[in-house]
């Protein structure tokens, strides 16, 4: 086989066979196919797409390119959850203890943040002492013992995707539904879960800018999961403004604790109940969404979900007192107020701009090896639909003392807000649910 022939074949939109896909994936991993040919092939995929069968072949070849985790040592139906990325998205910190409290075992491998989106592992490491690297045996026995563990993703999960993604990132070939779908699903399948819940975001802070594009991506991922025997459901959710009110590592842990206490912002609570319901149904712990929601609400009201978070923190070496007293988390030295420049209603908050502003304050990484500051971040006081007057505080920056970056971040946060004279049209948080049975709007 010659790569040049496969590039030509893909350029004219022909379907690639399994051995051909495997040839490309093997060549990516071994380095025998040069980057320029892989990039040309990825560009051809961007233009001509892939059939469902071809996308499934690419997914499985990438999933099998490294470690494939066998979770069978853990009892019960293991349900994984994946978000396509957002700003202020701390749902894993809430869902993991909450669904574990309802009997679904959570053996979760998560990633670090890069660029404007945060990563669950960085957020957990804001808790002093919390260990995110456990041996496989310790990981399994913790889930069997307390029902939940969240660790960093092993370096050798889907290495083909890692290399291909790095190349796509610098060759303008990220935005292709078959490439994104196979990238996400290859990692989920290699991570070993029996069932997969996807939170596919759309809006200013997401890869997919419209709900319809997000539905297309979700359909591709559900089709892959169905093809390879992993029950997969996708919720299509709004990322036209950051989720919740707090952005930044320790701040997001704080907000997760608020939700587990039965407090916190309504949008975040609602999304967690929606996603958690799907997880309970997928995990066989509830017959339908209504029963699942009742169980989740009960786990919050009884304090069981919060206690589960405390047990998770203790089991992984952190101070469990944080779950009861979030003020023990790192706190930034300075507060900088962002004030509204005019009267009006908040129509939107560009999530990507807020994510970049948080990164500037030190909450995220511009490059892979950058150090992050757990204490800093952004608190959004006004969200879509709120009415503000000129001079009102709409956000507070949690910054380092004497930080020159705070002035720039303040301008950026202000610029991220869009105002209008009339209240904005209502926008649902969950736009649709995609499963093997179709799209429910």
Q: Which residues bind ligand URA (CB under 6 A)?
A: 84, 165, 174, 179-180, 183-184, 207
SS3 430: strand
Contact 431, 239 (CB under 8 A): no
Q: Rank residues 161 and 274 by Cβ distance to ligand URA and give the closer one.
A: 161
Q: Rank residues 207 and 345 by Cβ distance to ligand URA and give the closer one.
A: 207
CB of 375 to ligand URA, least distance (A): 28
SS3 2: coil
CB of 138 to ligand URA, least distance (A): 26
CB of 35 to ligand URA, least distance (A): 17
Separation between Cα atoms, residue 400 and residue 258, nearest integer Å: 24
For the record, the structure tokens of 249 come out as 């590592």
- Measured in residues, the chain has a length of 441
Neighbours of 166 (CB within 10 A): 12
Q: Burial, 330: exposed, middle or buried (Cβ in 10 Å; 0-12, 13-18, 19+)?
A: middle
DSSP letter for 366, please: S
Nearest residue to ligand URA, scored by beta-carbon proximity? 183
* Backbone φ and ψ of 251, nearest 5°: -60, -35
Q: Rank residues 164 and 340 by Cβ distance to ligand URA and give the closer one.
A: 164
Q: Rank residues 183 and 241 by Cβ distance to ligand URA and give the closer one.
A: 183
Q: Rank residues 46 and 376 by Cβ distance to ligand URA and give the closer one.
A: 46
Q: Rank residues 84 and 142 by Cβ distance to ligand URA and give the closer one.
A: 84
State the Rg of the chain over Cα: 22
Closest alpha carbon to 44 in 83, 86, 6, 92: 6
Beta bridge partners of 52: none
Chain centroid, CA 330 distance in Å: 23
CB of 422 to ligand URA, least distance (A): 35
SS3 79: strand
Instruction: Calculate the alpha carbon distances from 134 to 130, 138, 321 in Å.
Output: 11, 6, 22
Closest alpha carbon to 54 in 8, 14, 4: 14
CB of 187 to ligand URA, least distance (A): 6
Q: Which helix (H) or strand (E) holds 209?
A: none
CB of 21 to ligand URA, least distance (A): 16
Active-site amino acid positions: 82, 161, 168, 183, 187
Separation between Cα atoms, residue 145 and residue 142, nearest integer Å: 5
CB of 288 to ligand URA, least distance (A): 30
Q: Rank residues 200 and 246 by Cβ distance to ligand URA and give the closer one.
A: 200
Separation between Cα atoms, residue 15 and residue 333, nearest integer Å: 57
SS3 429: coil
């Amino acid at each position: 086989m010659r790569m040049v022939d496969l590039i030509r074949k893909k350029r004219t939109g022909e379907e690639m066979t399994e051995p051909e896909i495997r040839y490309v994936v093997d060549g990516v991993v071994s380095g025998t196919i040069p980057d320029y040919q892989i990039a040309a092939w990825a560009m051809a995929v961007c233009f001509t797409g892939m059939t469902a069968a071809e996308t499934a072949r690419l997914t499985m070849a990438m999933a099998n390119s490294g470690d494939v985790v066998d979770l069978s040592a853990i009892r019960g139906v293991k349900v994984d959850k994946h978000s396509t990325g957002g700003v202020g998205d701390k749902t894993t910190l809430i869902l993991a203890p909450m669904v574990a409290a309802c009997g679904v075992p959570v053996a979760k491998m998560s990633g670090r943040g890069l660029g404007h989106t945060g990563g669950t592992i960085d957020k957990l490491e804001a808790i002093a002492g919390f260990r995110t690297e456990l041996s496989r045996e310790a990981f399994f026995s913790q889930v069997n013992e307390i029902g939940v563990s969240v660790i960093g993703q092993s370096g050798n999960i889907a290495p083909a995707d890692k290399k291909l993604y790095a190349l796509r990132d610098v060759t303008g070939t990220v935005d292709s539904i078959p490439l994104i779908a196979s990238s996400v699903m290859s990692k989920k399948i290699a991570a070993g879960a029996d069932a997969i819940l996807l939170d596919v975001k759309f809006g200013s802070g997401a890869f997919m800018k419209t709900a319809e594009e997000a539905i297309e991506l979700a359909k591709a991922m559900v089709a892959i999961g169905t093809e390879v025997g992993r029950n997969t459901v996708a919720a299509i959710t709004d990322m036209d403004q950051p989720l919740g009110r707090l952005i930044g590592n320790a701040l997001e842990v704080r907000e997760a604790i608020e939700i587990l206490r039965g407090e916190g912002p309504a949008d975040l609570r609602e999304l967690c109940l929606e996603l958690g319901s799907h997880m309970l149904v997928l995990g066989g712990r509830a017959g339908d969404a209504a029963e699942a929601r009742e169980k989740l609400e009960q786990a919050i009201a009884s304090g069981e979900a919060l206690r589960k978070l405390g047990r998770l923190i203790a089991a992984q070496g952190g101070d469990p007192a944080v779950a009861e007293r979030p003020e023990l988390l790192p706190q930034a030295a300075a507060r900088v107020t962002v004030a509204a420049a005019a009267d009006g209603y908040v129509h939107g908050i560009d999530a990507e701009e807020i994510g970049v502003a948080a990164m500037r304050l030190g909450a995220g990484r511009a490059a892979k090896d950058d150090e992050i500051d757990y204490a800093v971040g952004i608190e959004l006081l006004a969200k879509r639909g709120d009415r503000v007057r000129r001079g009102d505080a709409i956000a507070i920056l949690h910054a380092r003392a004497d930080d020159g970056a705070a002035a720039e971040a303040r301008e950026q946060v202000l610029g991220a807000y869009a105002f209008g004279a009339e209240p904005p049209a209502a926008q649902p948080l969950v736009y649709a649910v995609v499963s093997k049975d179709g799209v429910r709007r």
